[in-house]
Structure 1
Amino acid sequence: MPKLNIFVGTMYGGALDVAEQVKPLFEQAGFDVTIFEQPMLEDLIQHKTDVALFCVSTTGSGDFPGNFVPFVRAFHEQGPALSELRYGLIALGDSSYGETFCGAGRALDALLEDHGATRLGERLEIDAMETFMADDEAVPWVEQWIDSQQLKAA
C-alpha cells in the first residue's frame, strides 16, 4: 500500500482541520496516511512516503506557525537533498495582509523545490477573507489533485 504523509503547520487549527478532512480522500484512493501535527525534519526524511502533502497556514507577516518553526529551522541547518520527494501544498492565508498572503506556504514551496523536491500540480492558496471553512476549498482541490496526478492506488 502506498504511503502518504501529511505535514501540518498551524496556529489556530485550521490547517490541521484541512489535513483531517482530506485524509479519508487519500485513504479511499488506496493510501496509508499519517498526519504529523508537530512535524520534525526527521519525519520527512526517515518516514518513507510515496507522496507528501503540506498543509501550512501563515501567521504574522508571512511567518511559519510556531509548531512548524523547528521543521523549517532544521531544514535550513541540514539542507537535505529531496530529489525523490513528490509533494502537494495547501497554503492558508489572509489576503488582507497584502504581499505576505500565504507567505509561509510560498516560502516552504520554494524551499522544497530548492532542495530537489517535485511539486505535483499547482499549490492551493486558500484566502480566509473569501472562504470561512478552508476545507470547503481543500476537499474539492484534493479530489481533483488525486485524479489529475493519477494518485489512485486502488
Structure 2
Amino acid sequence: MPKLKIIVGTVYGGALDVAEQVSPVFEQAGYDVVIIEQPSVNDLIDEPPDLALFCVSTTGSGDFPGDFVPFVRQLKSQPPSLASLRYGLIALGDSSYGDTFCGSGRALDEILADLGAQRLGERLEIDAMETFMADDAALPWVESWIESQGLGT
C-alpha cells in the first residue's frame, strides 16, 4: 500500500483540521496515511513517502506557524535532495493581509522546488475571507487532485 504523509503547519488548528478531513479520501484511494504535526526533515528522508501533502497556515506577515519553523530552518540549513518527493500543497491564509496572503504556503512551495521536489498539479490556496470552513474547499480539491494526477490505486 502506498504511503502518504500529510505534513501540517498550523496556528489555530485549521490546517490540522483540513488534514484530518482529507485523510479518509486518501485512504479510500488506497493510501496508508500518516498525519505529522511537528515535522522534521527526517520524516521525508528516513522513510520517504510515496506522496506528501503539505497543509500549511500563514501567520503574521506571511510567516510560517511556530510549530513549522524548525522544519523550514532544517530544510534551509541542511538542504536535502528531495528529487524523489512528489507532493501537493494546501495553503491557508487570509486575503485581507494583501501581499502576504498564503505567504507560508507559497514560500514552502518555492523551497521544495529548489530542493528538487515535484509538485503535482496546482497549489490550493484557501482564503479565510471567502471560505469559513477550509475543508469545504479542500475536500473537492483533494478528490479532483487524486483523479487528475492518477493517484488512486
- TM-score where L is the length of structure 2: 0.99
Q: CA deviation at 1:43?
A: 1.0
Q: What's the counterpart of residue 133 of structure 2?
A: 133
Q: Deviations over 1:17-62 (max 9, x none)?
A: 0000000000000000000011111112112211100000000000
Q: What's the counterpart of residue 5 of structure 1?
A: 5
Structure 2 Cα separation of the partners of residues 77 and 95 of structure 1 = 30
Give the alignment of 1:25-104 within 5 angstroms. 25-104=25-104
Q: Deviations over 1:68-102 (max 9, x none)?
A: 00100011111111110000000000000000000
Cα RMSD, aligned residues only? 0.5
SS at 2:68's partner residue?
helix
Give the alignment of 1:97-116 within 5 angstroms. 97-116=97-116
Structure 2 Cα separation of the partners of residues 11 and 82 of structure 1 = 26
SS at 1:33's partner residue?
strand
SS at 1:66's partner residue?
coil
Structure 2 Cα separation of the partners of residues 82 and 48 of structure 1 = 9
SS at 2:17's partner residue?
helix
> What number of residue pairs does the alignment pair up?
153
The sequence identity of aligned pairs, in percent, is 75
- TM-score where L is the length of structure 1: 0.98
Report the more deviating stretch, 45-54 or 108-117. 45-54
Structure 2 Cα separation of the partners of residues 80 and 106 of structure 1 = 19
The AA in structure 2 aligned to 1:42 is N
The AA in structure 2 aligned to 1:134 is A
SS at 1:67's partner residue?
coil
The AA in structure 2 aligned to 1:113 is A
